[in-house]
């Protein structure tokens, strides 16, 4: 699995590097003033997009290394989970439109209690879960998200993301959160993003649960304990875990 992971990451890095190099050479070799604006804008768009993709891959690898060595640091504070999730969904709406996927989310009108954690790490989890849902959902499909806080279960807030994608086989489902494991080799990704997201949830005292079936889509449930008065006194703001 580790050998497959190294091969996969090498491929994931090479693909954007090839695109960046190709467009940079095209723009450099073109005689000054002869490259039309449309081609220039397209080339710059590819370079920026693929550079961001490289950055994401490298950050994911660094995070994985930090978790493996116990060096991940959480900057904890009271976090408005609704605001953070809403902003993450907003960031991905344009992508969903471009890919022909219906991204459905209605922010609850009620005020929910805060959670205690690292807002950047939590947003990283949201991005990973929503990115996976979009990646595995075909054009015309649906990704639906909701945030739930119930008086029947007042100690936790849940975020549920459901997609109408290809789903995960019963054989692969127990292994999808394992490091290096990747069920679908035809879709891009390093295979460690979900493992990192799961570990971040564990460090926050929460959980990441997955239900899926081949051909019927996937549902991911994120469960967060709500903030308890005085919680910050029992855990310093800068926590090395």
Tokens encoding 67: 């978790």
Contacts within 8 Å (CB) and 24+ apart, 227-232: 227/78, 227/113, 227/114, 227/115, 227/116, 228/116, 231/116, 232/76, 232/77, 232/78, 232/116
Q: Tokens 């679908």 identify what position? A: 184
- Render pLDDT for 102-139 as a digit per residue (tens, 0 to 9): 999 998 988 899 999 999 999 999 999 999 999 999 99
Q: Is the pLDDT of residue 186 over 60?
A: no
Distance spanning both ends of the chain, measured CA to CA: 26
Reported as a pLDDT band with limits 50, 70 and 90, residue 41 is confident
pLDDT at 235: 52
Q: Helix/strand/coil (H, E, C) string of the chain?
A: CHHHHHHHHHHHHHHHHHHHHHHHHHHHHCCCCCCCHHHHHHHHHHHHHHHHHHHHHHHHHHHHHHHHHCCCEEECEEECHHHHHHHHHHHHHHHHHHCCCEEEECCCCCCCCCEEECHHHHHHHHHHHHHHHHHCCCCCCEEEEEEECCCCCCCEEEEEEEECCCCCCCCCHHHCCCCCCCCCCCCCCCCCHHHHHHHHHHHCCCEEEEEEECCCEEEEEEEEEECCCCHHHHCCCEEEC
The per-residue pLDDT for 39 is: 84
> What confidence tens digit (pLDDT) does each residue in 51-68 have?
988 887 888 788 877 777
169: left (phi over 0), alpha (psi -120 to 50) or beta: beta
Residue 195 above 80 pLDDT? yes
Q: What is the pLDDT of residues 71-92, one digit of tens each?
A: 778 889 999 999 999 999 999 9
Compute φ and ψ for 201, nearest 5 degrees: -65, -40
Going by pLDDT thresholds of 50, 70 and 90, the confidence category of residue 178 is: confident
145: phi > 0 → left, psi -120 to 50 → alpha, else beta; which?
Answer: beta
111 versus 208: the higher-pLDDT residue is 208
Residue 240: what pLDDT? Answer: 43
pLDDT confidence band for 191 (50 / 70 / 90): low
């Amino acid at each position: 699995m580790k050998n497959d992971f190294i091969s996969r990451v090498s491929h994931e890095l090479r693909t954007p590097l090839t695109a960046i190099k190709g467009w940079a050479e095209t723009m450099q070799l073109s005689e000054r003033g002869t490259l039309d604006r449309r081609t220039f804008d397209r080339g710059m768009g590819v370079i920026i997009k693929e550079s961001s993709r490289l950055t994401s891959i490298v950050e994911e690898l660094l995070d994985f290394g930090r978790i493996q060595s116990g060096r991940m640091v959480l900057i904890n504070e009271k976090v408005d989970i609704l605001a953070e999730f809403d902003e993450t969904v907003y960031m991905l709406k344009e992508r969903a439109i471009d890919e022909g996927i219906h991204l459905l989310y209605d922010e609850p009108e009620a005020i929910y209690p805060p959670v205690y954690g690292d807002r950047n790490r939590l947003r990283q989890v949201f991005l990973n879960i929503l990115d996976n849902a979009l990646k595995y959902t075909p054009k015309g499909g649906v990704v639906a998200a909701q945030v739930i806080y119930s008086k029947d279960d007042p100690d936790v807030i849940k975020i549920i993301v459901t997609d109408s994608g290809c789903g995960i086989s019963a054989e692969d489902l127990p292994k999808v959160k394992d490091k290096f494991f990747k069920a679908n080799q035809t879709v891009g990704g390093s295979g460690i993003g979900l493992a990192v997201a799961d570990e971040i949830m564990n460090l926050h005292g929460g959980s990441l649960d997955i239900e899926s079936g081949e051909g019927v889509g996937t549902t991911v449930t994120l469960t967060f304990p709500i903030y308890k008065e005085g919680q910050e006194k029992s855990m310093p703001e800068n926590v090395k875990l």
